[in-house]
Every structure is written in C-alpha cells, then in structure tokens.
Amino acid sequence: MDSLSPATAPAHIDPNTFTFPAWQRSDGRKGIRNIVAVAYLVECAHHVARRIVDKSGRDDVHLIGFPGCYPNQYALDMMQALCTHPNVGGVVLVSLGCESFNREALRKAVEASGRPVEVFVIQQEGGTASTIQKGVDAVSRIRAIADTTPKTEMKTSELVIGTICGGSDGTSGITANPAVGRAFDTLGAIGSACVFEETGELIGCEKIMASRAITPELGVELEACVQKAETYYSIMGFGSFAPGNSDGGLTTLEEKSMGAYSKSGSAPICGILKPGDVPPTGGLYLLDVVPDGEPRFGFPNISDNAEIVEMIACGCHLTLFTTGRGSVVGSAISPVIKVCANPETYRRLEGDMDVDAGRIMEGRATLDEVGAEITDLILRVSAGEPSKSEAMGHQEFILTYKAFDPVGPACLPLKRA
C-alpha cells in the first residue's frame, strides 16, 4: 500500500497507481477520515451539542445539525446521508424532545449502516449540564468503537470529489476554475466521481452543457435544470451575480457563468444529482441545488457552506473550493481544499489557501501544471494530509429547508446499464 505523508510526498503522484489507507464501511464504501459526528436535531439543542464537541477535546469529533423545528423530508434525507457518510465512524444525536424532527428514523438509519449511535433527549436527561456530560461520555464510547473500524486499501478511482466557487472575481474563470477542470478531467478519466455545481451560476451555459451529455435525454434535463434556476431566481427577485463579484472585476452574468462552468472541465457529463444522491459510477456529474416546485424557500443556498454540505451528502470525500476574493471556511465531515484564483489574494491569505492558481496570471505556471498540483493535493489529503482549513479546525456546517423531487432515469442514464 502506497501511503503518504507531507514529508515524503513526491513532486508528482501517478493517480492511476496511487493507493492509500482508508476505513472500510459495512455498506462497501470507503472513508478517508473516521470522524464522530455530534448532531443536534433542532436549534434548541445546538448549544448542548456544541459543548459536547468542545468538551471532547478532539479534532475528529465534528458538530453538524438541523436548526428547524417543523418537519422537512429534505432535512431528514440530508441528515441520514451525512450521518452515514463514508468519512463518519459513529454518531451522537442530541434532541430537545418536542421538535418534529424524526430522530427515531435517523437513529435507525445510522444503526442499519453498522455505525455506533446514541441518542440523548435533553428534556429526559435532566437538562443542559446533565446531557452535556452524558454526551461527552457517549463520544468516548463511540470513538472507541469507531477506532476499531477495519482499514483497507483505497484507489484513486474510488474517490468522490466535489467543487464549488465562492467569492469569485475576474480571475476565477481564468485560473482556478479551469485548473480544477483539468484535475477533474484527469481524475474522472480513471474512474473517480467528480461533482460540480450550481445551476444558478450556469445560466447561459445550458446548451454547451447539453452538448456534452452522454445521452440526448440527459441533455434535455441539463437544459431544464438551468431553466428552473433562472425561473426561481426571477420569481424571487435576485440572481447569482453579487456586488462582490462586480467589485472583483466581473462584468456580466455571462462572464461569471462561463467562469463557473470551466470548473467542469471537458469530459462528457454522466448525470444529474440532487442533494443526497450518490453517483452510481465514476465520471462527471452536475449537482442541481435549486429546490423543485414553486419558489418558496428564498435563496437556494444562503452560503457556500450549504452547497458544500449538499456535496458531502452526495458522498464527496473532499471538496475543491475556488475563490478569487478569498474565503476561509472549511467544513465538517469532509476536508475542503482552497484553490485561490487571484495572486494578490493568495499573498494576503496564504495561510488559508492550499493552491496558488494565480501563478497562471503572472506567468509562473500553466493551467496544466496547476491542474496537476491540484490532483496531487487531492491524493495527499485523501491519504491523510490535512488541508489548511482542516488543520486550523474549520468545521463550518449549515442545513436549511428545501424540497426536491427524485431524479428520473434520464438524469442518471448509467443506472440503467
């Protein structure tokens, strides 16, 4: 098994032959991390869950949760996907007691996945202090069980990788985004599943995407996804072009869309996912994050981290985050790798950035060279090297209300093969 540490990492790694140690889950999937998730099931339980995580004193215990009280199928589906993610080794659930979230369904889903799980209902456990102490003790028990998870060898072709862009500027579509596209082309060609987003930032690119679909029916669905986003934004009275984008030198929605689109590379598009759908094969997938039905939820995602969470729910082992203006966020459950598009931003925020794609603008590197660097870093992080946000303890998480219809066969044509 070809494992890796930062001190011994070669300059370039062959993704075709590279393997690394991973955790074998009972459902057949493999994880690159083995974290314990402490999940609150309503905002009223958030503080207690956070204190349990803090008092555990461990970086591999992460806080996730849903703040709402009114029941929502999307939230339940997402929490089930997140709590059974291949990077998760065990779960502690924290409930107030009177919220409408179906904690028993979530507990059963985690239990059925073969992971240890314990549930604490604050109203039944004696309140804040008592539940915190019981939760801390439970984390210790679950951590001990998770540590016995069998180790296995994982291939590059078994990875699921997501990408998003945030804080885009005029450099994003020139450097970081197309460099990620190069990495996606490399990894997708050997069997990794690569997931890009988001339809609201791809308006104007729908026909180009449709031309890359592996079936004509999928091409129609790709165009419909973008049209749904355009309609949603129009009715709600906003768009994906933010003032910060303009301040950063972007001039039009079309320019921003083309820049965001370049993250997808040039490979054929295999299918469309909705949050929580796991890619059935390797290859390139579009994640549709805009709710189905009549617009009623406000912004499709209120922050970049909401999209990262949806990618993780689709099984992404890690996420590539491209930024021109700069961002410091990471994520719970799966590492985030920052690819900085703007060389000036990189120099200001070097401590938070993993890759300086701005070198392309200054003639210090080519797109292919930065794409290869991103590929190498994906493999190093998969093998255990922490990304910068991970090393600094960033574990941002947010989950809100949404509603989605199931994808049809035209959206995942390879499922029929």
DSSP 32-68: S--EEEEEESSGGGHHHHHHHHHHHT-TTEEEEE---
Task: Using CA atoms of 42, 43, 44, 46 in order, give the dihedral in degrees to the nearest 10.
Answer: 100
Q: pLDDT (tens digit, 0 to 9) for every residue of the chain, 417 residues total?
A: 344 433 344 468 999 999 999 999 999 999 999 999 999 999 999 999 999 999 999 999 999 999 999 999 999 999 999 999 999 999 999 999 999 999 999 999 999 999 999 999 999 999 999 999 999 999 999 999 999 999 999 999 999 999 999 888 889 899 999 999 999 999 999 999 999 998 888 888 899 999 999 999 999 999 999 999 999 988 887 655 455 555 555 555 666 667 789 999 999 999 999 999 999 999 999 999 999 999 988 888 888 999 999 999 999 999 999 999 999 999 999 999 999 999 999 999 999 999 999 999 999 999 999 999 999 999 999 999 999 999 999 999 999 999 999 999 999 997 544
Q: Shortest CA distance to 187 belongs to which of 111, 267, 297?
A: 267
> Which CATH architecture does the domain made up of 30-146 adopt?
3-Layer(aba) Sandwich (3.40)
Q: Is 414 exposed, middle or buried (0-12, 13-18, 19+ CB in 10 A)?
A: middle
Please check whether residue 411 is in contact with residue 280, taking contact to mean a CB–CB distance below 8 angstroms.
no
Residues linked to residue 256 through DSSP beta bridges, in sequence order? none
Within 78-227, strands assigned E span 88-95, 117-121, 151-155, 160-165, 193-196
Peptide bond into 373 cis (omega under 30): no
Q: Rg of the Cα trace of the chain?
A: 21
Residues linked to residue 286 through DSSP beta bridges, in sequence order? 196, 272
Per-domain residue ranges of the chain: 30-146, 155-416
